[in-house]
Amino acid sequence: MTDSAPLNVLFLCTHNSARSILAEGLLNHLGKGRFKAYSAGSSPRESQQPNPMALDTLAHAGISIEGLSSKSWDVFATPDAPHMDLVITVCDNAAGEVCPYWPGQPATAHWGYADPSALEGDEAQRMEAFRQTLHLIRRRLEIFVNLPMSSLNKVALEKTARELAAT
């Protein structure tokens, strides 16, 4: 990785509709070109789309939702896919699944978050769950994006990303 090339980060979840979408949008917003975030799911449903509440939460936070879509993680295991430097699972289901082979063997970490789309309640309660999840993701990503790029080689990257799981 060079100083001019952005660090590619893939966020994984089961359906790629809520947590991984929030993380992708937020890192692209906070990363200011130093990072390029992507997201995917281990088993997105047919015709899966990002959860409308995830998109609303990002938009209300001033984060672009342009280009966000639900897709299978298989898209990123092909030879012509962007090379990933870091793969982060954001749900416990995806963390326990056998991942495809990632070209270049990127660093990996698990940052577990409760699924805001699983909350039962009225619309206001569900929107609050999405806002809280975005806040939790933001706490980790703000630390992550402010690390010096020199500390983001593969070994340091994996160690740092795993340590951030405890925050």
The one catalytic residue among 13, 87, 152, 157: 13
Q: What is the pLDDT of residue 26?
A: 98
In whole angstroms, give the CA distance from residue 163 to residue 156: 10
Whether the pLDDT of residue 2 is over 50: the answer is no
Q: Is the dihedral of CA 101, 102, 104, 106 positive or negative?
A: negative
Specify whether 139 is catalytic.
no
Q: What is the pLDDT of residue 1?
A: 45
In whole angstroms, give the CA distance from residue 22 to residue 106: 21
Specify whether 63 is catalytic.
no
pTM score: 0.88
Specify whether 13 is catalytic.
yes
Give the pLDDT confidence of 24-68 residue by residue, as tens digits. 999 999 998 899 999 999 888 777 799 999 999 999 999 999 999
Give the pLDDT confidence of 140-160 residue by residue, as tens digits. 999 999 988 777 776 677 787
Domains with residue ranges and CATH for the chain: 7-161 (3.40.50.2300)
Residue in 159, 167, 165, 134 with CA at minimum distance from that of residue 27: 134
The one catalytic residue among 1, 65, 99, 149: 99
Give the pLDDT confidence of 58-80 residue by residue, as tens digits. 999 999 999 999 999 888 888 88
The one catalytic residue among 12, 26, 27, 91: 91
